[in-house]
C-alpha cells in the first residue's frame, strides 16, 4: 500500500489494500439498503444517506442565506439525500466564525423559514433537516477561548488578543442556544445539533481539564455545558436533539486522548451513553480539528498539506469510530463519517456498514460539494459515477479556511475556480511581500 493516492479500479483492488491493513470493512455490491427509510422519534428519514454540514461561508452580512447559499441547498435537495444536516449556524453574533457564517436570530427568522420551505419544495423525498447550532470559540472573529492551549493557540489566536469566556458568560450562552433552538423549531427544522466537535467552543470545554470553576476539571464539569443545554432544549422546545461529536480530539492530552495523541475512549463511551439518556436522537461522528490535523477528520491525498499516514488509515479510523459509537448505544441513531475519500466505492462501504450494524446512516460532506446528485445516481443506477466524484483535493477546505466562499473548485468550476485563483494570487502576493521585508 505504497501509493498515497486513491488508485482503485475495482472493489477487488480496494479489498486488497483493506486486507493489507487488516481492516475488515464490510463492503457490498448491493446498495439497496441505502434507499430504506428509518424512523427517528415521530419522524421518518426517507433514506439512509445524509449530507454532512458543509460551510459555504457565503451568507449575507446579517446572517441570512444568500443566493449562493440557496443554490447550494437547492443542489443538495435535488440530489435526493434523506437527511440534510445544515452547515454551522451561529447562536449569537460573538460566536460567528466570520461575517459570512449563517446566524439565526429573531430579525431574520422569515428568511430561514423560507429556506426550509424551499428545500422541501426542491426535494422529491421530504428530507429530514438539522440545524447545526454553533459557537466558533477560538476559531471565530472574537477569539473567545475556554482555556489556553499550547497546541491550538499558535494556529487560532494572537498573543494578547483573546478572551477567556467566564462561567457567567457560559451560563448566558446556554440560554442563547435555547433561544436559537426555539427559532429553529419555528423556522421548520426537524432537529437541532448542539455542535460539540472540531474544538469549537463546546468541543473545547470537553478538554478543559485545567480550567477552574464549574465548567472545567472533572468529567461532570467538562460535560456540564453540553448536558445542561440539551436538558434546557428538551424541556422547552418541541424539536429533536442531535449532536455532532468529536469522539476524540487526537491532540495530546485532549478529549478522550492520551498524552501521545492516541484514542483513550473511556470518557467518550460514557458521554455517548449520557447523551442517549438525555434524549439525543442522533450522534454524528467526527474527530479532531481541521485547523491542526485535517487528515484525521478529512482523509485526503492531494493538496499542500502532506498527511503523515496513508489516507486509507484515516478512513479506517473514522469508520471504526462510527462502529464504536454504534456499539455504545441502544436507541440513539448513528450517522457515520469517512466515506468521501473512497470515491465511487463510498456507497458500497456505507451499504455494507449499515447491513452489518456498524451505523444507521451514512454521511457525505465533500462528496456532496462535488457531486450533489450522487444519491440519485446510487438509487437510479446502482452506483456512483466515477467521473463526477470528489477527488479529495481539499481545495474547498482551503477556501473555507481563508474565509472565502467555499465549494468544489474541480466539479463546480464556474463558481469556485475564480475564487480559488484569487486566493492563490493573494497567497503569492503575501509571500512576495514577506520576502521583500
Among residues 374, 356, 354, which one has the least CA distance to residue 365?
A: 374
Domain ranges of the chain: 11-396
pLDDT of residue 13 exceeding 90: yes
CA nearest to 365, candidates 335, 386, 385: 335
Grid cell, residue 375, equals 444519491
Q: Per-residue pLDDT for 4 more than 80?
A: no
Cα 273 to its chain centre, rounded Å, is 21
Q: What is the pLDDT, as a whole number, of residue 302?
A: 74
pLDDT at 52 over 70: yes
Q: How confident is the model at residue 18, as a pLDDT?
A: 96
Do 72 and 57 touch, CB atoms closer than 8 A? no
Q: How far apart are the first and last CA of the chain?
A: 44
In the predicted model, is pLDDT for residue 434 greater than 90? no
- pLDDT at position 1: 65
Q: Output the 3-class SS for the chain.
A: CCCCCCCCCCHHHHHHHHHHCCCCCCCCCCCHHHHCCEEECCEEECCCEEECCCCCCCCCCCCCCCHHHHHHHHHHHHHCCCEEEEEEEECCHHHCCCCCCEECCHHHHHHHHHHHHHHHHHCCCCCEEEEEEECCHHHCCCCEECCCCCCCHHHHCECCECEECCHHHHHHHHHHHHHHHHHHHHHCCCEEEECECCCCHHHHHHCCCCCCCCCCCCHHHHCHHHHHHHHHHHHHCCCEEEEEEECCCCCCCCCCECCCCCECCHHHHHHHHHHHHHCCCEEEEECCCCCCCHHHHCCCCCCCCCCCCCHHHHHHHHHHHHHHHHHCCCCCEEEECCCHHHHHHHHHHHHHHHHCCCCCEEEECHHHHHCCCHHHHHHHHCCCCCCCCCCCCCHHHHHHHCCCCCCCCCCCHHHHHHHHHHHHHHHHHHHHHHHHC
Per-residue model confidence (pLDDT) at position 364:
98
| Rounded-to-integer distance, Cα 422 and Cα 419, Å | 5
pLDDT for the residue 2: 64
Among residues 85, 146, 160, the alpha carbon closest in space to that of 119 is found at 85
pTM over 0.85? The answer is yes
Buried residues in 190-223 as b, exposed as e (16+ CB within 10 A): bbbbbbbbbbbbbbbbbbbeebeeebbeeeebbb
Cα separations (Å) of 223 from 138, 243, 257, 329, 346?
A: 18, 13, 15, 18, 33
pLDDT of the residue at 5: 84
CA distance 44 to 245: 23
Closest alpha carbon to 136 in 73, 35, 55: 55
CATH fold of 11-396:
TIM Barrel (3.20.20)
Q: Report pLDDT for 305.
A: 74
> Which residues neighbour 361 within 8 Å (Cβ) at sequence distance 6 or greater?
38, 45, 48, 49, 50, 82, 83, 282, 333, 334, 335, 336, 354
Q: Which of 399, 394, 403, 408 is nearest to 97 (CA)?
A: 403
- Mean pLDDT of the residues in the chain: 96
Residue 435: predicted pLDDT: 77
Please give the Cα distance from 301 to 17 (Å, whole number): 16
Average pLDDT over residues 178-192: 98
| pLDDT reported for residue 300 | 86
Whether the CA torsion 149, 293, 250, 134 is positive or negative: it is positive
* Average pLDDT of the residues in 364-381: 97
**Strand duo 43-45 + 163-164: pairing:** unpaired
CA distance 222 to 40: 28
**Per-residue pLDDT tens for 299-322?**
988 777 788 899 999 999 999 999
pLDDT over 80 at 285, yes or no: yes
User: What is d(CA 184, CA 40) in angstroms, rounded to the nearest whole number?
Assistant: 18
Between 160 and 414, residue with greater pLDDT: 414
Burial group, residue 411, by CB count within 10 angstroms (0-12, 13-18, 19+): middle
Amino acid at each position: 500500500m505504497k501509493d498515497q493516492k486513491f488508485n482503485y479500479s475495482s472493489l477487488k483492488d480496494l479489498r486488497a489494500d483493506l486486507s493489507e491493513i487488516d481492516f475488515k470493512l464490510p463492503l457490498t455490491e448491493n446498495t439497496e439498503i441505502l434507499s430504506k427509510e428509518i424512523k427517528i422519534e415521530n419522524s421518518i428519514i426517507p433514506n439512509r444517506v445524509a449530507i454532512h454540514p458543509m460551510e459555504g461561508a457565503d451568507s449575507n452580512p446579517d446572517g441570512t442565506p444568500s443566493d449562493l447559499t440557496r443554490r447550494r441547498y437547492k443542489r443538495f435537495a435535488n440530489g435526493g439525500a434523506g437527511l440534510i444536516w445544515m452547515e454551522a449556524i451561529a447562536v449569537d453574533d460573538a460566536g460567528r466564525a466570520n461575517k459570512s457564517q449563517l446566524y439565526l436570530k429573531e430579525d431574520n427568522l422569515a428568511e430561514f423559514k423560507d429556506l426550509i420551505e424551499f428545500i422541501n419544495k426542491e426535494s422529491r423525498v421530504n428530507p429530514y433537516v438539522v440545524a447545526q447550532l454553533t459557537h466558533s470559540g477560538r476559531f471565530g472573529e472574537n477569539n473567545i477561548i475556554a482555556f489556553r492551549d499550547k497546541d491550538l493557540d499558535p494556529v487560532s489566536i494572537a498573543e494578547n488578543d483573546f478572551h477567556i469566556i467566564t462561567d457567567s458568560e457560559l451560563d448566558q450562552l446556554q440560554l442563547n442556544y435555547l433561544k436559537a433552538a426555539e427559532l429553529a423549531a419555528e423556522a421548520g427544522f426537524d432537529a437541532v445539533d448542539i455542535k460539540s466537535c472540531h474544538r469549537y467552543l463546546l468541543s473545547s470545554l470537553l478538554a478543559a481539564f485545567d480550567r477552574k470553576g464549574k465548567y472545567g476539571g472533572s468529567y461532570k464539569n467538562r460535560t456540564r455545558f453540553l448536558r445542561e443545554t440539551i436538558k434546557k432544549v428538551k424541556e422547552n422546545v418541541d424539536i429533536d436533539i442531535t449532536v455532532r461529536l468529536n469522539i476524540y480530539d487526537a491532540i495530546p492530552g485532549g478529549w478522550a486522548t492520551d498524552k501521545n495523541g492516541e484514542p483513550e475512549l473511556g470518557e467518550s463511551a460514557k458521554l455517548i451513553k449520557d447523551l442517549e439518556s438525555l434524549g439525543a436522537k442522533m450522534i454524528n461522528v467526527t474527530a479532531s480539528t481541521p485547523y491542526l490535523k485535517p487528515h484525521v477528520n478529512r482523509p485526503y491525498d492531494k493538496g499542500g498539506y502532506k498527511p503523515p499516514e496513508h489516507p486509507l488509515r484515516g478512513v479506517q479510523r473514522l469508520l471504526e469510530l462510527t462502529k464504536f459509537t454504534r456499539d455504545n448505544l441502544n436507541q440513539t441513531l448513528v450517522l457515520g463519517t469517512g466515506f468521501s475519500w473512497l470515491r465511487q466505492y463510498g456507497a458500497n462501504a456505507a451499504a455494507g456498514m449499515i447491513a452489518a450494524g456498524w451505523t444507521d446512516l451514512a454521511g457525505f460532506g465533500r462528496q456532496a460539494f462535488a457531486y450533489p446528485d450522487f444519491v440519485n445516481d446510487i438509487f437510479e443506477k446502482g452506483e456512483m459515477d466515477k467521473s463526477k466524484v470528489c477527488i479529495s483535493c481539499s481545495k474547498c477546505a482551503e477556501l473555507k479556511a481563508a474565509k472565502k466562499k467555499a465549494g468544489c473548485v474541480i466539479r463546480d468550476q464556474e463558481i469556485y475556480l475564480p475564487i480559488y485563483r484569487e486566493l492563490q494570487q493573494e497567497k503569492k502576493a503575501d509571500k512576495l511581500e514577506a520576502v521583500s521585508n
